[in-house]
């Protein structure tokens, strides 16, 4: 596994340049580039005479390694699956469910059973019919890593006692607890039972009901999804979308400017600001439900020490992180909560405020001054780590930074398990419930923090069993404050979602509740 290590000396030498913006890009004789908020993209009026580009090209930051979300959760996998799969429902920008493969639903009085009426006449990409059997199969097959190919079990599976097929187009989830926001889980991708059983999970697990199907994949170069002509909904006007692997963010911006690609996402903040200020590009910007955080490893001496955790939280200036790494707030905002401010049910918390003098005194009073912490992350978050490194040095903490590859990051560092801290972001698909269960509950499936707190588990279990939505939100508010005080992680920032395209590129969905950019309905008008 590739990894790189930075010393404190290197980071200290770099910090002066970092604090004026990632990449150090300046304009107007060295003054900071003054970015303007992008003008909201106005979708054009089109008709039957409008001419569209048949195939569009999207610059992507990383290679696609798997075609199924249950075999990986990399950003590019999720974004592609948005176009190739459907769930029973989809989550809107307001955090509310909308019909997708299910046309209607209902729950019993205590929200422990949820029944879905399914859309009829839906075809999978292999031509097989979508029925309740596929829903039952997906939830049962994708619930355990014991099944071939499953590395990311379906979210919420532990809450399901039984999936009952009432008839070919009606399915009921019987839960082992009440769950007032179960609809978040109902947005999970549905696979074809026929395809998986006949072709195996690697190939069959890529068969969905979405507007596009997987066509070609050349590892390290590109992959293409192509319009599914038997799609149950309104077919997109774009025939094919090719995702071009351009790992260097600045190179993606150059490819956009040269016309090699029609759009890009996840660029360097400095490049995004430059393109934003250029005025020749359509810039889609949205808040992000993901929170970038530095999580402590509870299995190490310092990661398990609450005094250390408190001191780190007090030593890090989130505004410095945003200013240095997100172009002075043009590409991100500071975070004070492990839960995103755009998540349904978010509650402001009284977190540890920036207080370097207090942090230093706390360490000195407890004989912890001069300690060394090991931090793991990947290239995307190295600038954040270096800002943290400089901040912690001021209070007497030496931070050693090790860079791992982004693909398989969580698995890789858990196998090493010598880190005190690691920087990553939450994948908050499913709202507060998902974050609490998947990251903070004992034996959380997606967490590298190894966090375990019996009081937290008890409070979360009680919240999950709330019979109604209002009671659940009240309990989640208490949990958010509990996490802020126990500080298993230091929330750092929320990077804005961006997609930037040519001035004739439209139709991107930046739904923060769905975490990722959705290209299903994007198009380019021929000029």
User: Element (H or E) spanning 14, and its range?
Assistant: helix 8-18
Comparing 14-28, 58-72, 170-184, 433-447, the range with the smallest average pLDDT is: 14-28
Comparing 70-84, 203-217, 219-233, 481-495, the range with the smallest average pLDDT is: 70-84
Confidence band of 455 (pLDDT split at 50, 70, 90): very high
DSSP secondary structure code for residue 447 in this structure:
-
Q: Quick check: helix, strand or coil at residue 114? A: strand
Residue 462, Cβ neighbours under 10 Å: how many?
15
Which sign, positive or negative, has the C-alpha torsion 13, 19, 24, 29? negative
> How much is the CA Rg of the chain, to the nearest whole Å?
23
Residue 310 has pLDDT above 90, yes or no: yes
Confidence band of 212 (pLDDT split at 50, 70, 90): very high
**Farthest CA pair distance, the chain:** 75
Q: What is the pLDDT of residue 37?
A: 66
CATH number assigned to the domain covering 3-23+289-495: 3.10.105.10
Q: What is the pLDDT of residue 152?
A: 82
Candidates 425, 526, 56, 62; CA nearest to 252 is 62
Candidates 139, 135, 195, 138; CA nearest to 169 is 135
Compare 8 and 89 and report the one with higher pLDDT.
89
Comparing 27-31, 161-165, 238-242, 437-441, the range with the smallest average pLDDT is: 27-31
Distance separating alpha carbons of residues 495 and 318, to the nearest angstrom: 12
DSSP secondary structure code for residue 436 in this structure:
I
Q: What is the pLDDT of residue 358?
A: 97
Read off the pLDDT of each residue in 437-441 and give the average, rounded to a whole number: 89
Q: Are 339 and 293 in contact (CB under 8 A)?
A: no
Read off the pLDDT of each residue in 180-200 and give the average, rounded to a whole number: 91
Read off the pLDDT of each residue in 79-95 and give the average, rounded to a whole number: 85
Q: Are 105 and 119 in contact (CB under 8 A)?
A: no
Distance separating alpha carbons of residues 349 and 12, to the nearest angstrom: 32
Distance separating alpha carbons of residues 393 and 298, to the nearest angstrom: 22
Read off the pLDDT of each residue in 317-321 and give the average, rounded to a whole number: 93
Confidence band of 515 (pLDDT split at 50, 70, 90): low
Residue 21 has pLDDT above 50, yes or no: no
- List the alpha helices (DSSP H) in 266-355: 269-278, 306-315, 318-325
Distance separating alpha carbons of residues 243 and 255, to the nearest angstrom: 13
Distance separating alpha carbons of residues 133 and 180, to the nearest angstrom: 25
Distance separating alpha carbons of residues 405 and 3, to the nearest angstrom: 7
Residue with tokens 């995702």: 243
Domain boundaries defined on the chain: 3-23+289-495, 55-60+210-285+499-524, 86-198
User: Which CATH superfamily hosts domain 55-60+210-285+499-524?
Assistant: Periplasmic binding protein-like II (3.40.190.10)
User: Element (H or E) spanning 356, and its range?
Assistant: helix 356-365
Average pLDDT of the chain is: 87
Q: What is the pLDDT of residue 8?
A: 34
Read off the pLDDT of each residue in 416-432 and give the average, rounded to a whole number: 83
Residue 39 has pLDDT above 70, yes or no: no
Confidence band of 524 (pLDDT split at 50, 70, 90): very high
CA distances 511 to 90, 180, 266, Å, are 11, 22, 15
86-198 placed in CATH 3.30.470.20:
no
Tokens of 418: 């010598």
Beta bridge partners of 422: 295, 376
Q: What is the pLDDT of residue 72?
A: 73
Read off the pLDDT of each residue in 30-51 and give the average, rounded to a whole number: 70
Q: Are 177 and 159 in contact (CB under 8 A)?
A: yes
Confidence band of 1 (pLDDT split at 50, 70, 90): very low
Q: Are 290 and 424 in contact (CB under 8 A)?
A: no
Q: Are 429 and 44 in contact (CB under 8 A)?
A: no
Distance separating alpha carbons of residues 397 and 380, to the nearest angstrom: 23
Read off the pLDDT of each residue in 407-434 and give the average, rounded to a whole number: 83
Q: What is the pLDDT of residue 71?
A: 86
């Amino acid at each position: 596994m590739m990894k790189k290590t930075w010393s404190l000396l290197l980071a200290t030498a770099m910090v002066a340049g970092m604090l004026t913006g990632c990449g150090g890009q300046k304009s107007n004789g060295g003054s900071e580039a003054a970015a303007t908020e992008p003008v909201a993209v106005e979708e054009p009026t089109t008709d039957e005479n409008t001419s569209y580009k048949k195939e569009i090209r999207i610059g992507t930051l990383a290679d696609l390694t798997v075609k199924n979300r249950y075999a990986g959760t990399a950003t590019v996998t999720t974004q592609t699956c948005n176009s190739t799969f459907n769930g029973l429902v989809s989550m809107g920008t307001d955090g509310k469910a909308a019909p997708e493969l299910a046309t209607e639903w209902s729950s019993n009085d205590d929200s422990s059973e949820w029944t879905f009426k399914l859309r009829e006449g839906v075809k999978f990409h292999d031509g097989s019919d979508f029925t309740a059997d596929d829903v039952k199969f997906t939830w049962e097959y994708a619930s355990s890593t014991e099944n071939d190919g499953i590395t990311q079990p379906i979210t919420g599976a532990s809450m399901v006692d039984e999936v009952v097929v009432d008839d070919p187009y009606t399915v009921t989830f019987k839960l082992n607890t009440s769950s007032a926001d179960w609809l978040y889980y109902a947005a999970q991708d549905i696979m074809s039972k026929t395809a998986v059983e006949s072709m195996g999970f690697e190939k069959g697990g890529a068969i969905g009901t979405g507007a596009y199907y997987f066509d070609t994949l050349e590892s390290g170069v590109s992959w293409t999804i192509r319009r599914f002509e038997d799609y149950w909904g309104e077919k997109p006007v774009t025939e094919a979308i090719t995702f071009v692997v351009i790992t260097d963010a600045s190179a993606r911006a150059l490819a956009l400017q040269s016309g090699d690609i029609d759009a890009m996402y996840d660029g360097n903040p400095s490049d995004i600001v430059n393109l934003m200020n250029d005025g020749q590009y359509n810039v889609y910007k949205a808040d992000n439900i993901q929170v970038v955080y530095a999580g402590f490893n509870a299995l190490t001496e310092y990661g398990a020490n609450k005094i250390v955790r408190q001191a780190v939280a007090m030593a890090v200036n989130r505004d410095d992180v945003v200013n240095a790494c997100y172009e002075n707030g043009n590409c991100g905002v500071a975070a004070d909560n492990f839960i995103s401010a755009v998540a349904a049910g978010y509650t402001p918390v009284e977190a540890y405020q920036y207080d370097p003098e207090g942090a230093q005194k706390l360490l000195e009073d407890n004989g912890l001054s001069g300690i060394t912490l090991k931090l793991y992350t990947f290239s995307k978050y190295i600038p954040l780590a270096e800002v943290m490194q400089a901040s912690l040095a001021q209070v007497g903490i030496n931070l050693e930074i090790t860079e791992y590859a982004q693909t398989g990051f969580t698995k890789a560092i858990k196998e090493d398990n010598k880190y005190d801290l690691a920087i990553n972001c939450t994948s908050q698909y499913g709202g507060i419930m998902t974050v609490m269960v998947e990251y903070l509950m004992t034996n959380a499936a997606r967490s590298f923090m190894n966090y375990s707190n019996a009081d937290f588990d008890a409070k979360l279990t009680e919240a999950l069993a709330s019979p109604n939505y209002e009671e659940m939100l009240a309990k989640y508010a208490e949990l958010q404050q509990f996490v802020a005080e126990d500080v298993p992680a230091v929330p750092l920032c929320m990077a804005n979602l961006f997609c930037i395209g040519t001035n004739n590129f439209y139709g991107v969905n930046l739904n923060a509740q769905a975490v990722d950019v959705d290209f299903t309905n994007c198009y380019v008008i021929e000029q």
